[in-house]
Amino acid sequence: MRAYYYDGEPGDPRLPHDSGRTVSTEMLEALNVQSMFVPVETYEEEVAAIAKQQGYKNHDIISISKEGLGDQYESRIKAFFHEHMHEDDEARYIITGSGYFDIREAHTNAWVRLAVTTGDLLIVPAGIYHRFTLDTHDRVKSMRLFKDAPKWEALNRGVETDRHPVRTGYLKNIGL
C-alpha cells in the first residue's frame, strides 16, 4: 500500500491525484489506520489468523467492476466516493485489482490517499471519515471482514455524524 496526500485537483477520482507528499506509517498509526501485506498465495490462512486476533468473526467476498455491477455501477461508485464513516471498522483484503481509499486526516482535514493493490490488507477504524474509488483498471475483488454480522451502512458526513458517538469516540482515541 502506498500513502500520500491527495492533490485536491479536479478531475477523474480514479486517477492517482498524487501531490508528491508521502504519508508515513507513523502518521497512519496515529490515525489508527492499520495496513499490512499478505501474499495472495497464502491469504486465506493468514487473513483468517489476523481476523481471529482482531476479533473479526465474519467475512464476505465482493467484486466491484462495470461488468459485475451492470447498470448499478455508476451509482455505486458515486456512493462509495461520497465522504462517510461507519459504526464498525472497514477491514478489506484486496484479492485482485486495485483502488483508492481516501481518509480524512482529522488534525488538518486533508485527504490522505491510500493506493491499495492485490495483497494489501487495510483496516480503517470506525468513526474515521473516508471514501473509496476504483482506479483506472475499474475492478477490485476484496474480502470484507466484520466483527459481527456482515453489514455496510455508510453515514454521510454532516452535523449529525460529527456528533455521532462512534465519531467522537474515534476523535478521542486519536487525541482530539
DSSP-based three-state secondary structure for 104: strand
Mean pLDDT of 50-75: 93
pLDDT in tens, 153-165: 899 999 999 999 9
Q: Report pTM.
A: 0.95
**Distance in angstroms (rounded) separating the CA atoms of residues 125 and 91:** 8
Whether the per-residue pLDDT at 136 is higher than 80: the answer is yes
Distances (CA, A) of 129 to 38, 45, 58, 105, 167: 25, 30, 23, 8, 9
- 50 pLDDT band, cuts 50/70/90, is very high
**Distance in angstroms (rounded) separating the CA atoms of residues 129 and 155:** 9
Judge contact between 98 and 133, C-beta under 8 A.
no
**Distance in angstroms (rounded) separating the CA atoms of residues 80 and 99:** 11
pLDDT in tens, 70-93: 999 989 898 899 999 999 999 999
